[in-house]
Structure 1
Amino acid sequence: MHIKISEKMHHELKNHLHCGDGLEAIAFALCGRHSFQGKEFLLVHKILPISYDRCIREEDRVSWKTIDLEPFLEEAAEKNLGIVKFHSHFVQDSEFSKLDDNSDTSVFDTIYSWINENKPHASVVMYPNGSMKGRIITPNLNFKSVDKITVVGETVKSYSYNSQFQIANSFIRNAQTFGEKTINQLNSMKVGVIGCSGTGSPLIEQLYRLGVGHLVLVDSDHVGVENLNRIISSKKSDATNKRLKVDVIKDHIQSVDIGTRITSYPYLLQESRQVVDDLASCDFVFGCMDSLEGRHYLNLISTNYLIPLTDIGVKLMADGKGGVNSIVGNIHYVYAGSETLLERGVYTSNQLAEESLKRISPEEHENRQVYFNNAVVDSPAVISVNTLCSSLAVNDMLGRIHPYRFQDNNKYSKTVVNLTDWDINSYSVSETKEKMHYQNIGIGNIESNFNLYVTEKNI
C-alpha cells in the first residue's frame, strides 16, 4: 500500500499531533482510493483532528470517543472511502506499541462494522520531525506494513520501508552527485511521460539514464519524417514503416538494457481508462504534449490522485522570413492545491472547448467555427530548444525529491526560458482558487469532474 498526503494537510497534521506539550494526540483522515495491478493507494482527502478537550491524553497513549468520528464514518460508508488513523510518537522511528495494537484493533473493528466494504484502512504514527510509519489494518484485523508514505507539495518527501537495491555501475556517477538515497528513490519511482516527441523524447532519455525504475509512456502517434529531427533513436525506416513513437522509444531503452521497466500506450490520454488508471499509480508525471485537453486531464489526475506534475511547453514564433521572432519555453510544476494550468494561463476555457469538440465531433466543430478564435497552431520544433527545456524539467524534479537549490522549492513553480533574450526566470504561484480542484484533492477514483470520450462515444 502507498499512502499519499498533500504538503498542506501534512503540515496541519504535524501541528496538531506535535503541539509541544509532550502528550499524544490523534486525528483521522478520510481518503480516496485507487487500485492498480494489485497495488492499493489511500489518498488523503480530508483531515479530522480530534480536539484535545475531547481526548484523554498521556505521554504514551490517547483515548477518545467514537461518537466524534461518526460523521466521517457516515461519509466513508456512503462514498466507499478509506480511513487512516494518525497519532503521535515522540521517540523517533519507534514501532507501534502494544497499546497501539489494542487501540487499532478496537477502532478498526468499529470502522469495518460501519463501512460494509472489505477494502483496507490504515494506521500511521507521526514522529516529531514529521516523518511517518504506517500499517494496513485488514478486514480480519491483522496488521501489515505500509510500503510507502508520500507527502506531495513543493517538495516531494517519501518514507519507504522497502530494502535498498545495490547501485549498478551505470549509476555510480549519478550517486556521486545526488547521493545513494536519491538514486534508490529514483529506482523505486514510477514516472509517466505523456507525449514522446519534441520535449518528451530527450526527457525520457534522461529519466532512464538517471535510473528511474519504471516509465509509463503515452503517445498515440506514429513516427513521421518531420519527427526525425527531434526523436532520439528514431530512424528513417521508422517513419517509412509508420512505427508507433512509443514502440520506437521502448525498443531503444530496452536495447540499452540498464534496468528500466517500460509500459507503453499508443492511445490518447483522454480516451483511455487504462491509461488514466496507470498514470494515477505513478509517483510523478510529465506532460510533454501540445494537446490542451491532455494538459487539462493531467491536471485533474494530479489533483484527484495527489501526483506531482510537470508541464513543459515550447513555442518558437517564426518571422516568415526564415528566422524567428521569439523562442520561449515554460516549465510549470503543479501539485494538488496549487494554481491549475488553466489559472496560470497555459490555455483558456474557450481553447479547451474548441479542441475537445474538434476531436469528439469534427462536423459540429466545423459548424461552430464562428464561436472560436485564437486556435493553437503548430510552431517550429528544434531539438536543442526541446532538450534545454526537458533538462530543466528533469532537474526540477530532482530538486523536488532532493532539494539542492539555494532557495526554497516554492520559488520555482514556474520557470520561463526566453532564448531570444538568453534569459531564465522562475516564479512562485498561489494556491488554487478553483473550487472544483480544491474540493477534489485526493478524491481518487470518485471522479465527478471528468469523463473519457472516444469520438462520439462516452466510455
Structure 2
Amino acid sequence: MLVSLTLTSSQHGELMRHLFPDDGCEAVAIALCGRCEGDQRHRLLVQQLVLVPYECCTVRAPDRVTWPTDILVPLIHEADKRRLAIVKIHGHRGYDRFSDVDDMSDKALFPSIHAWIGDGLPHASAVVLDDGRMFGRAVDEAGEFVDLTSINVVGDDLMFWHQAASNHNLPDYGYRISQTFGARTYDSLRKLKIAVVGCSGTGSHVIEQLARNCVGALVLVDPDHIEEKNLNRVLNSGMSDALARASKVSVAKAAVERMGLGTQVLALENNLFTEQAVKAVAECDIVFGCVDTVDARHLLNKLSTFYLLPYFDLGVRIDADGFGGVDQVCGSVHYVQPGGSSLFSRGVYNMEQVRAAGLYRTDPETYRSLLKDGYIKGVREDRPAVVQLNGIIASLAISELLARLHPFRDDPNESFAVHRMSLSHGIYEHEHEGPMCQMLARHAGRGDVQPLLDWAELSSINEAA
C-alpha cells in the first residue's frame, strides 16, 4: 500500500519550534491524522499535533529521546473512535535516515498501537530535519517498515519530499523547464497528481499547460459533452467532437496523450457532486477549480479543507449586452490553503447563493417556483466567454502554482493569495492572505467522514437508494 503524509505550514512550523530547542536535545510529537483511503494511495492528513513536554521525557540527548508512552492512551482511544492514524514525529540534526534506536523504538511501539486499534489501517513514524525536510515510513502490525511515498507541506509555499529516486536522464522536452525553474521543481512536477475540475473554458487551458509542464498525472472531472457553442473556447475540440457529442474529459485526455510527454490521465465524466469524483480529487496533491457555480466552488473549498489540498480557483466574467457592447472583462485567481482564509471568508459567495445554486442543480422546478415568488435570488444561467480571457487567467493560475513550488518573486507568496485583473479597466491587483475562515478551518485534515465532507448529498446511503 502506498502511504503519504500531508500537513499545513503552521503545523510544520510548530514542529520545527518544538523539535529543535536551544538545548540541542531531541524531542518528540504525536500527530492525530485524518485519512483519505484512496484506490492508489492512503493519505494521512495531520489534524492535531500533541507536543510531548520536554520535562516528561526520561532521557533527552542530542541523539535520542525516551518518553512515557502512557501519553498515547487517550490518543489511541480517540484514533480508535474516529478512525484516525497515529504518527510519531521526532527531529534529527543533519542525520537524514532512521537510526538503529529509531528502528527498535518503532518495532516496539507500533505493533501495540495496531493491536489496540485493530482496523489494519496504516500508522506511521516521521522525522523532521533541522533544515525543514521530512521523511517517514508506515509501520505495520508486525513492525515491518514501508517508506512513505511522499510528505508534503501546504502553505504559502508548497513543499514536497518524495521517496522515489529522481530520474537524472532529463528528456529534451523537460530541459527548458529544468533550465528555468531547476531540476528539483521539474522532478516535483513529474511526481505530482493534480485534479482539474471543469474542463471547458479555463479548464482546457489549465490542462494544456499542466501537461506541457510535464505534470505526472491529471484527474479530470467534468460531466458535459462538447457542443458547437463550445468550439471557440475549448482547446483541442473540433466540429467532429461536437457532432459526436464527445465528452470534454475524453477530448482533453486524447490531447494530453497525443503530446507523448508521459502525463497519465484519469478522465471522469462525472458531476463533482458524486462520491466517485470527490474521492478521486481527494487522492490528488493539488486541485484546480475551473467551475462557474458557487455550490461547486463551496464544495471544492470544503474538499480542500477536509483533505489538506492546495486549491487554485479560477474565475472569469464578461458583462456584455449581446450586441457588441461590453461593460466589463475581468478575471481572478484565488489560492486557498486549508486552515486559512476561504472563498467564503473572502466574500466570493454567501450561503444563500450556495443554496440557490444547489437548488437550481438538483430541483429546477422548485427553483423556478421560488424564484418566481421572490424567495431566492436567481442564478445566472448562461455567460458570455472568450478564449483569450480564459487563456490569460489560466496562465496566471499556472504561474501561481510554479511560484509556490519554486518561489521566485521578490515579495513573499503570502502577498499573492488573490489576483484580480480587469482588461476593460486596465487594472491588475493582488491581495494578501486574509484571516482564518471560522466556518471551514475547524474541518482541516478530517479526511474521510460519512457523509463525505459533511454534505448530505454525498452520502453513500443516498446514492445507493
Using structure 1 for the length normalisation, give the TM-score. Answer: 0.96
**2:5 alignment partner in structure 1:** 3
Name the counterpart of 1:76.
79
- Opposite residue 39 of structure 1, the aligned amino acid is R
Q: 1:419 to 1:448 in 2, by over 3 A?
A: closer
* Aligned counterparts of 1:116 and 1:174: Cα–Cα separation in 2: 46
Partner of 1:256 in structure 2?
A: 259
In structure 2, relative to structure 1, the CA distance for the partners of 1:192 and 1:92 (3 Å cut) is same
Match of 1:388 among 381, 386, 392: 392
Q: Give the distance between the partners of 2:220 and 2:108, measured in 1 at CA.
A: 44
C-alpha distance in 1, partners of 2:361/2:24? 59
Q: Does 1:182 align with 2:185?
A: yes
Q: Give the CA RMSD over aligned residues.
A: 1.7
**Residue 455 of structure 2 aligns to which amino acid in structure 1?**
F
* Mapped contact 2:268–2:277 kept (Cα < 8 A): yes
| Residue 451 (structure 1) aligned with residue 453 (structure 2) | no
What's the CA shift for 1:396?
0.2
| Aligned match of 2:424 | 420
Residue of structure 2 aligned with 1:227, choices 227, 230, 234: 230
User: What is the correspondence of 1:363-382 to structure 2 with a 5 Å cutoff?
Assistant: 363-369=365-371, 370-382=374-386
Say which is worse superposed, 196-205 or 110-119, in terms of deviation.
110-119
Supply the distance in 2 between the matched residues of 1:38 and 1:349 (Cα, whole angstroms): 34
* Structure 1 ranges of 4+ moved more than 6 A: none
Q: What's the CA shift for 1:69? A: 2.0
**CA-CA distance at 1:439 after TM superposition:** 2.0
Work out the CA distance in 1 between the residues paired with 2:462 and 2:7: 35
Q: 2:363 is matched with which residue: 361, 371, 383?
A: 361
- Is the contact between residue 302 and residue 453 of structure 2 (CA under 8 Å) also seen in structure 1? no
Separation in structure 2 between the aligned mates of residue 312 and residue 161 of structure 1, nearest angstrom = 32
Any conservation in 1 of the 2:331–2:421 contact (CA below 8 Å)? yes
Q: CA deviation at 1:110?
A: 2.8
Does the CA-based 8 Å contact 1:451-1:458 persist in structure 2? no
Distance in 1 between residues matched to 2:40 and 2:388, nearest whole Å: 41
Q: Following superposition of structure 1 onto structure 2, how do residues 42-81 of structure 1 map, counting pairs within 5 Å?
A: 42-56=44-58, 57-81=60-84
1:162-203 Cα distance to aligned partner (Å, 9 max, x none): 111232211211211111111111111111101111101111
Partner of 1:204: 207
Indicate the SS of the match to 1:99: helix
Contact 1:73 1:115 in 2 (8 A): yes
Return the alpha-carbon distance in structure 2 between the equivalents of residues 448 and 389 of structure 1.
Answer: 29
For structure 2, list consecutive stretches of 5 or more residues without a partner in the other structure: none
1:25 to 20, 24, 27: 27
Match of 1:120 in 2: 122
Contact 2:114 2:140 in 1 (8 A): no
The worse-fitting range, judged by mean Cα deviation, of 333-342 and 112-121 is 112-121
1:348 is matched with which residue: 347, 350, 354?
A: 350
C-alpha separation in 1, matches of 2:110 and 2:427: 56
Counterpart CA distance in 1 for 2:462 and 2:114 is 38
SS at the partner of 2:199?
coil
CA distance in 2 between partners of 1:457 and 1:441 (Å): 25
Farther off after superposition, 398-407 or 250-259: 250-259
Listed one character per residue, the Cα deviations across residues 216-274 of structure 1 (whole Å, up to 9, x for unaligned) are 1111111111111111111112112211111111112212222111110111101x211
CA distance in 2, matches of 1:130, 1:366: 55
> Following TM superposition, by how much is the alpha carbon of 1:423 offset from its aligned partner in structure 2, in angstroms?
2.2
Which amino acid is the alignment partner of residue 403 of structure 2?
Answer: G
Q: Secondary structure at the match of 1:21?
A: coil
Secondary structure, in 3 states, of the residue corresponding to 2:201?
coil
Deviation at 1:366, TM superposition (A): 2.4
Which residue does the alignment assign to 1:278? Answer: 280
- For residues 124-162 of structure 1, give each alpha carbon's deviation from its aligned partner in whole angstroms, at most 9, with x where no partner exists: 111111111111111111112111100011111011121
Aligned partners of 1:189, 1:414: CA distance in 2, in Å? 23
What is the CA–CA distance in structure 2 between the aligned matches of 1:256 and 1:66, rounded to whole Å?
A: 54
Instruction: Give the aligned residue type for 2:290.
Output: C
**Gap runs ≥5 in structure 1:** none
Q: Is the 8 A contact 2:339 2:442 kept in 1?
A: no
Q: Is the 8 A contact 1:306 1:441 kept in 2?
A: yes
